[in-house]
């Protein structure tokens, strides 16, 4: 299937029905690293991510996650092109290394600190949410994880604010509003590439960065964002 440059790569096929001349995107490129010590939860999160068209690598511990990323012994970042990771989603409570500790290690790494990290937890503890967000987590999902939670994550891949207000991740937005946090977790502005889409059916160029974008709230007024607003709620 041709890659569609106008729309977010995350769109599910059913949203494109009736829109002539445009084909749904394949999203092969998006790679998520999921970390959870529970076998049941790993199976569920893997399915949730796959159904939203992500490639998934699921590991059972923070240690294994670091090994996968090549961070276990802080080796050089040369040659990690093949290990492009667009999002890391991790459980908080894990034996050995907690999700919080993993978060800190990732944010402390030059190679991977720009990768959005999302924390999952069965416990809705404000202090815990706060400390994770302070350490740079993109969002905090209260378990059990639902499809709507995972669909919301798509927004983090392209540096846009989540538009949907429902779901448990609203914690983060509420906290932001309450505390009037003006600074974003990441330091660099969103990188908007005007890479031309591959198919001849492409329309105007739009942001569709291949690498993980920083997550600062952006006021992109792109066709993608406008289209997202009309298509949100599903």
DSSP 105-147: HHHT-TTTTTS-EEEEES---HHHHHHHHHTT-SEEEESSP-H
20 by DSSP, 3-state: which? coil
- For the CB of residue 120, give the shortest distance to other proteins in the complex, in Å: 10
Number of amino acids touching other proteins (CB under 8 A): 17
Residue 233 found at the interface with other proteins (CB under 8 A): no
Q: How far from each other are the two terminal CA atoms of the chain, in whole angstroms?
A: 23
Minimum separation from the CB atom of position 185 to other proteins (A)? 27
Q: Give the nearest distance from C-beta 60 to other proteins in angstroms.
A: 12
Residue with Cβ nearer other proteins (51 or 179): 51
Beta partners for 33? 57, 88
Stretch that binds other proteins, among 19-27, 82-90, 143-151, 202-210 (CB under 8 A): 143-151
What is the distance between the alpha carbons of residues 16 and 13, in angstroms, rounded to a whole number?
6
Residue 232 in contact with other proteins, rule: CB under 8 A? no
Nearest CA among 20, 15, 75 for reference residue 228: 15
Give the range of 62-70, 141-149, 155-163, 209-217 binding other proteins by CB under 8 A.
Answer: 141-149
| Least distance from other proteins to the Cβ atom of residue 62, Å | 16
Q: Binding to other proteins by residue 40, rule CB under 8 A?
A: yes
Using DSSP, state whether 186 is helix, strand or coil. Answer: coil
Residues that bind other proteins (CB under 8 A): 38-41, 43-44, 47-48, 51, 93, 95, 122, 143-147
């Amino acid at each position: 299937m041709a890659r569609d440059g106008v729309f977010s790569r995350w769109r599910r096929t059913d949203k494109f029905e009736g829109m002539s001349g445009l084909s749904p995107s394949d999203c092969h490129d998006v790679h998520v690293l999921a970390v959870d010590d529970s076998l049941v939860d790993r199976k569920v999160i893997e399915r949730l991510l796959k159904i939203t068209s992500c490639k998934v690598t699921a590991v059972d511990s923070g240690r294994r996650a670091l090994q996968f990323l090549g961070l276990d012994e802080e080796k050089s970042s040369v040659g990690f092109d093949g290990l492009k990771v667009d999002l890391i989603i991790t459980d908080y409570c894990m034996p050995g290394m907690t999700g919080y500790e993993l978060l800190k290690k990732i944010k402390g790494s030059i190679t991977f600190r720009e990768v959005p990290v999302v924390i999952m937890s069965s416990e809705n503890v404000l202090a815990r949410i706060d400390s994770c967000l302070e350490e740079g987590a993109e969002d905090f999902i209260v378990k059990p994880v639902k499809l709507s939670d995972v669909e919301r994550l798509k927004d983090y891949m392209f540096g846009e604010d989540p538009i949907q207000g429902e779901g448990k991740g609203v914690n983060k937005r509420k906290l932001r509003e309450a505390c009037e946090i003006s600074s974003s977790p990441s330091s660099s502005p969103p990188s908007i590439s005007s890479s031309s889409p591959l198919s001849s059916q492409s329309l105007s160029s739009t942001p569709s960065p291949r690498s993980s974008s920083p997550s600062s709230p952006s006021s992109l007024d792109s066709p993608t964002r406008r289209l997202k607003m009309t298509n949100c709620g599903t």
